[in-house]
Amino acid sequence: MFLKRNVFLLFFLLISCGFGFAQKTQPIKGITVVAPPQAFESDPFEEIKALNANWIALVPYGFSRNNDSEVLFNLDRQWWGEKEEGIRECIRLAKKHELKVMLKPQVYIHNSWVGEFKCADEPSWKKWEKSYQNYILSYARIAEETGVEMLCIGTEYRIAVKKRKAFWKTLIKKIKEIYSGKLTYSANWDDYNNVTFWDQLDYIGISGYFPFKDENATKSDLLNAWKKTKKELLNFSLFKQKQILFTEYGYLSVDGCYGKTWELEKKINQLAINESDQAMALDALYTTFWEESFWSGGFLWKWFPEMKGHEGYPERDYTPQGKKAQKTISTWFSKDTNHNE
């Protein structure tokens, strides 16, 4: 009983003092840049720099077929910005504008979600592990060669993270033999506590699409809704002694965008455009976390360079370009803060 009581008191003291996150620097003010189909006609990073961003995320997609566990990447049929040539050029331009880079190799499965990916037998899992390792290590080498500051080793592999724990730990060791920058992983918002290898990484990465009220919310409603989640993230951050990084976050510019965004995406063209809701939701998120030292910032999803690469509904999509949210982001990104990077 004495031991339990003292452990509890120590944990309470850590929370009270914000132990481990006292250094005062700027948060990661990041933008995820969508890979363009063709090479740039002009430099698109000037607009991103004008938002007061200090980081970008680049996503060289890989693909898995529904009936096959192999991860395919850097294919001729892929968009220019998803392949090695485009990634290297994007990194070069980002460096030109003094933007730091997170490289975020991410796997797409047609008509499915990678979080539901699983293999039927051990040979299939081994095939996936071999190809996924090849995929990640290929971009780890590029990241090291080009001076990329951070590498995200995976995104939302809910089942694979649980079933193949040894693989992920071995993969991280191999990455560290190649790459000397910061490492994170992007867990889905509802299963970050199931990841077993945070101790091997620099940040607890979370896809921050926490759902709140479905419609007719005010900023006050959203701030109140964030309180419980904020407390949970703080406690987890202190428990792991790692900062929380929103490897993705954002809102569609439609009615009720602060609800279950993955369900809104399925009926996107049926929803009314609502730039005010998008701006308000982002404002509430920044208000909640901006001055919190356990939160290291994040990467807004998403920005279309030269307005290329969108799926036909940019007026409803996550991008803030030309919308009320663009001013909201620029205003917050311009703030000075007592924050830890």
User: For 161-177, what is each residue's pLDDT tens digit?
Assistant: 999 999 999 999 999 99
The CA distances from residue 195 to 26, 130, 201, 205, in Å, are 27, 20, 11, 10
Tell me what the pLDDT averaged over the chain comes to. Answer: 92
Taking the CA of residue 278 as centre, how many other CA atoms within 13 Å lie in the half-sphere pointing to its CB? 28
Residue type, 334: S
Mean pLDDT of the region 151-161: 97
Instruction: Give the predicted TM-score (pTM) of the model.
Output: 0.92
| Fold exhibited by the domain 23-329 | TIM Barrel (3.20.20)
User: For 314-340, what is each residue's pLDDT tens digit?
Assistant: 999 999 999 999 999 999 999 975 544
Q: Are 314 and 272 in contact (CB under 8 A)?
A: no
Give 25's DSSP letter. Answer: B
pLDDT value for 49: 94
Mean pLDDT of the region 306-318: 95
Kind and range of the H or E run holding 150: strand 150-155
Worst-scoring range by mean pLDDT, 53-57, 279-283, 335-339? 335-339
Mean pLDDT of the region 210-221: 89
User: For 174-211, what is each residue's pLDDT tens digit?
Assistant: 999 999 999 999 999 999 999 999 999 999 999 999 99
Long-range CB pairs of 202-205, under 8 A, 24+ apart, other chains included: 202/150, 202/242, 203/150, 203/242, 203/243, 203/244, 203/245, 203/296, 204/236, 204/237, 204/240, 204/242, 204/243, 204/244, 204/245, 205/152, 205/245, 205/246, 205/247
Mean pLDDT of the region 132-154: 98
